[in-house]
Amino acid sequence: MKLYMQVLIALGLGLKRNWHIFLGLVLGVIAGIFLHQYPHPVVMMAFTFIGQLFIRLIQMVVIPLVISAIVIGITSIGDSKQLGKLGTKMVFYYAIITVVAVIIGAVLALVFKPGLGAAAYINSDVATGIQAQVATTIEAQKGNLLNIILGFIPKNPLASITSGDMVPIIVFAVIFSVALARVGEINRPFVSFFESVFAATMKITDWIMCFAAPGVFALTAVAVSAFGIDIFMSISKYLGVLALGFGIQLFVVYPVFLKIFSKVPVWMLYAAIAEAMMVAFGTASSSATLPLTIACCEKRGISHKVTSFVIPLGATLNMDGTALLQVVAVIFLAQAYGVALTPFIIVQIAFLAIIASSTSAGIPGAGLITIALVLNGMGLSPEQLIAGFAFLFAIERITDMMRTLVNVTSDAVVAAAIADNENEINYDLLNNPNDYNDVIN
Ligand code: ASP
């Protein structure tokens, strides 16, 4: 066989799936830049189709997976005291990470001032094409916090399941599982049923992941083709500040967090969850990535007890990347329109971003709807708001891809830290990249 054929076969078959997906990502960026220059409707249609096919396949398993994971996780913890301890620790860890994210966002935006002089390229002309989204966002601004909290409690759990509302589904699953744990042995048939559901959904996830490389390639190509690289030139400062903030979260905050609260080696953890990180980037959805985040963590030694409880909740409530973006975006708009930023307003922005981000669903674009809450009371005129949203929407997808990667990584970081604290991590597996657990056992 010719040498180049051997190399090609080795590239195709020998490499790990991580690298296939990474290759998909890089080629997707190149194809997207090319498509922006030379648009081709048929190619675009084909790429959109492949990307959507991949997303729908993973979304298909999310609800059965979340419910079964929570049922098994909570009933296996059993004793409500331990559950309370785990829950409190989880909220504490997620809170630390999100508070640090908003501080970093605020400091970077105030130091680099990406919004100064930006009003020139924020104009309401762009707003015409995206009226629907702008209207939704303005509408969301009217919803107050109490209504948002009420919405977390499902009036009808089955209706929440059919409409895919993750937070009410999780709230119901958690309450139901705690009750199941309390009723004792009689819960066995029900729990066994969900053990089978979990095993089957994990198996399906494994099959779907064979399709991850082309899926991520297509999604990235379509996303990049929408704006090409010229957009990066005009708003490079804004994107630069965001990328720097996300980079600090990934390469400084999480490693320091893991050092302080656990003995988890951060690089081993990142290697373990690399597939989930790339799929998060490609799909811009924490919920869609959830099956994979759980699979990656469990394969490399983090116990099911911890992942099944901490990761689904994290994928829905822990959105530190989104919070960071919301702070930077709002300060950016304030700077662009010359709104005076007093220390009080900055603290208010940071505080509202923490709440708004955690009410964002783990789906593409959610963070740009809830940002309305943060913009409340900033004193921007309706025209400025519309033009501001239009600007943020125009570059939404790329910033969504970045923040989702951060959101998903922090879910796994917190799960790993808790697993370490509770002695629920198998370090032999985590430290040995060539070895892994079968999740279904
Ligand atoms: N797309 C993000 C996620 O799924 C949420 C957001 O829009 O910020 O994590």
- One DSSP character per residue, 87-118 reads HHHHHHHHHHHHHHHHHHHHHHHHHH-TTTTG
pLDDT surpasses 80 at 13: no
Q: What is the mean pLDDT of the chain?
A: 84
| Residues 6+ positions from 56 with CB-CB distance below 8 Å | none
Arithmetic mean of pLDDT, 244-259? 96
What single DSSP character describes residue 16? -
**Ligand 1 site-directed mutation target among 167, 279, 286, most atoms within 8 Å of CB:** 286
- Which amino acid makes up residue 225? S
Q: Measured between alpha carbons, how far is residue 372 from residues 129, 143, 353 in Å? A: 19, 10, 10
pLDDT surpasses 90 at 144: no
Which of 224, 215, 324, 216 is closest to 278 using CA atoms? 216
User: What share of the chain has pLDDT > 90, as a percent?
Assistant: 34
pLDDT of residue 244: 96
pLDDT of residue 125: 54
**C-beta of 364 in contact with ligand 1 (< 6 A):** yes
> What is the CATH number assigned to the segment(s) 16-435?
1.10.3860.10
**C-beta of 336 in contact with ligand 1 (< 6 A):** no
Write out pLDDT tens, residues 397-440. Answer: 888 999 999 999 999 999 999 999 999 998 888 887 666 665 54
Arithmetic mean of pLDDT, 83-87? 86
**C-beta of 326 in contact with ligand 1 (< 6 A):** no
pLDDT of residue 232: 62
**C-beta of 365 in contact with ligand 1 (< 6 A):** yes
**C-beta of 171 in contact with ligand 1 (< 6 A):** no
| Residues 6+ positions from 147 with CB-CB distance below 8 Å | none
Write out pLDDT tens, residues 355-408. Answer: 889 888 888 888 887 887 888 777 777 777 777 777 787 777 888 999 999 999
Q: Where are the domains of the chain?
A: 16-435
